[in-house]
């Protein structure tokens, strides 16, 4: 059984390239659809709730920056073909930029978009970082479909 719709969670750093490429490689042979999602976490959440200042302007800047980065990613991956032949193209409508908490929003989007595989990057953390958890770990728990954690080699 092959996957029909892959949802790739991108943090919009340079590390999202291997994650997108792996998803493209899986989707390519079967013509599965590939969607990308980036979550902008509310700043008040990062500061733990009550913040005695107005963060709305900063939040807007963060959102605008993420939008710009998403469009750059789209430029890079929207071509129908690459050097090795055909590959799935990511269309503008396949990009999702949402506010919220990554795990919750990724699960929600996977359900509404009927995705059958979520693809995330994983640093293979150990020690204290493992105790604190990671987005990949978080996404795995309670996921509505299969989850592929693409090993990112940076921390090896
Ligand atoms: P982390 O555990 O935060 O180092 O991130 C590992 C992976 O989780 C990344 O490679 C992405 O696939 C995903 N991820 C992290 N942050 C976000 C975000 N804000 N939006 C979407 N995916 C994310």
Mean pLDDT computed over every residue of the chain: 86
pTM reported for the whole predicted model: 0.88
| Per-residue pLDDT at 106 | 98
Give residues (CB < 6 A) around ligand 1. 9-11, 15, 19, 37-39, 102, 120-121, 123, 134-136
pLDDT in tens, 50-75: 666 677 888 899 999 999 999 999 98
The DSSP secondary structure of 119-151, one letter per residue, reads EEEE----THHHHH--HHHHHHTT-SSEEEEEE
Residue-wise burial string across 69-96, b where 16 or more C-beta atoms lie within 10 A, e elsewhere:
bbeebbeebeeeeeeeeebbebeeebbb
Among 41, 102, 118, the mutation site with the greatest number of ligand 1 atoms within 8 A of its Cβ is 102
Task: Say which CATH class 5-151 falls into.
Answer: alpha beta
CA 95-13-113 angle, to 5 degrees, is 25
pLDDT band at 156 (very low <50, low <70, confident <90, very high): very low
Domain boundary assignment for the chain: 5-151
pLDDT digits (tens, 9 = 90+) for 85-101: 556 678 888 999 999 99
Q: What is the pLDDT of residue 24?
A: 93
Helix (H) or strand (E) holding 81: strand 81-82
């Amino acid at each position: 059984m092959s996957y029909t719709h892959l949802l790739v969670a991108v943090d919009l750093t340079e590390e999202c390239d291997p994650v997108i490429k792996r998803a493209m490689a899986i989707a390519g042979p079967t013509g599965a659809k590939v969607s990308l999602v980036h979550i902008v976490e509310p700043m008040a959440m990062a500061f733990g709730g009550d913040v005695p200042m107005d963060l709305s302007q900063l939040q807007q800047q963060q959102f605008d920056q993420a939008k710009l980065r998403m469009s750059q990613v789209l430029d890079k991956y929207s071509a129908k073909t690459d050097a090795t032949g055909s590959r799935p193209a990511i269309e503008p409508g396949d990009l999702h930029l949402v506010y919220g908490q990554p795990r919750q929003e990724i699960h929600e989007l996977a359900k509404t978009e009927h995705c059958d595989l979520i693809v995330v990057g994983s640093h293979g953390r150990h020690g204290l970082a493992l105790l604190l958890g990671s987005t990949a770990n978080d996404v795995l728990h309670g996921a509505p479909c299969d989850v592929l954690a693409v090993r990112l080699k940076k921390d090896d």
